[in-house]
Amino acid sequence: MSGGRSESVMFERIALIGIGLIGSSISHACRRASLAGSIVGSARTPATVETAMRLGLIDEGFVTAAEAAVDADLIILCTPVGLCGPIAKEISRSLKPGAILTDVGSVKAAIVRDVAPHVPKDVHFVAGHPIAGTEQSGPESGFAELFDGRWCILTPEPDADGRAVEKLRAFWEALGSKVEIMAPEHHDLVLAITSHVPHLIAYNIVNTAAHLERVTDSEVIKFSAGGFRDFTRIAASDPTMWRDVFLNNKEAVLDMLGRFTEDLTELQRAIRFGDGDTLFRLFSDARSIRRGVVQAGQDTAAPDFGRASGRVPVAPQAASKKV
């Protein structure tokens, strides 16, 4: 490339394997911060690759992940969790020495189990999970600000190269994230209660409402109060992604579901026996957690019943050109 390249370039060539919400948002954020010399990508369908090219998300598009990984300095698996192992096997011979391989899956122990065996010894594998997203999917849903102020958790193996871990940390910080490092198993336990079980509850309550014989579908939609409305937003998330999450984090999810069921039983008993004091105490405790989330900058206290139906993705900068 020409001498006009910014000195902030961290990777000469980044390969995005999967160009949905997270992959496209990584591209937007990389363009914003001028972190890559070039960005290439692959997707399961030619139409997705064509869309990514049209939007300027990638400079080159490939049919296979193996082709996209060639000569890449950073390879990011942005596919559903269940595909990461097979893709790691597919690209193993394409990975160049010194490259960093990472992912964005919301399950980490299964990713490490399925991906690590296929990574060559001279390639640095550092599993990761940006805790950011929306219920939207596809290359057109991404935007540069998705990671701003959000956490990204890295779960490197004990023998991981320290320089590679720090470079990946710096990369996510440049995208706007705050970074924390933890063990894969601990990550899965934390995310089971903060993300996975809430999604499971959302899917379940929406389906329960839809199947009530004494309430019509039109009434469920017409009279959706704020709580149910928010459940439907969560339940609109990608079913393939969440199927894979639950199948690959079953132990932690079942553990948290057991605890949730016990706590739900306590609420049920309090309602049945008119125990207002217990209800008030539990509701107050939950309210204080919400205040903590807002104070930590992970949400805003502003009322949002009339929230916008969606945000307009930030237009990418002009794609880098080779010379």
pLDDT at residue number 288: 87
d(CA 58, CA 15): 9
pLDDT, residue 289, reads 83
Q: Quick one: pLDDT at residue 105?
A: 95
Q: Please give the average per-residue pLDDT across 41-61, as a whole number.
A: 95
Q: Does any domain span residue 88?
A: yes
Does residue 206 belong to any structural domain of this protein? yes
Dihedral angle, C-alpha 22, 110, 231, 258, nearest 10 ° = -160
| Count of domains observed in the chain | 2
CATH of the domain at 270: 1.10.3660.10
The per-residue pLDDT for 183 is 97
In a domain, 310, yes or no: no
Question: Last residue of a domain, which of 133, 155, 182?
Answer: 182
Buried-exposed string 278-310: b where 16+ CB fall within 10 A, e elsewhere: eeeeeeeeeeeeeeeeeeeeeeeeeeeeeeeee
| pLDDT digit string, tens, across residues 121-162 | 999 999 999 999 877 888 999 999 999 999 999 999 999 999
Tokens of 306: 């009339």
Average pLDDT over residues 310-323: 37
- The reported pTM is 0.81
Determine whether 258 is exposed, middle or buried from the number of CB atoms within 10 Å of its CB (0-12, 13-18, 19+). exposed
The reply to whether 49 and 119 lie within a common domain is yes
Residue 227: the pLDDT is: 76
Same domain, 145 and 221: no
**Range with the poorest average pLDDT among 24-28, 42-46, 231-235, 244-248:** 231-235
Same domain, 65 and 136: yes
Identify the band that residue 113 occupies on the pLDDT scale cut at 50, 70 and 90. Answer: very high
Residue 261: DSSP 8-state: H
Same domain, 79 and 144: yes
DSSP 309-322: S-PPPPPPPPPP--
Q: Are residues 191 and 178 in the same domain?
A: no
Domain that holds residue 252: 187-295
Residue 99, classified by CB atoms within 10 Å of its CB into exposed (0-12), middle (13-18) or buried (19+), is buried
* 3-state SS, residue 21: helix
Answer yes or no: do 177 and 193 share one domain: no
Coil vs helix vs strand at 232: helix
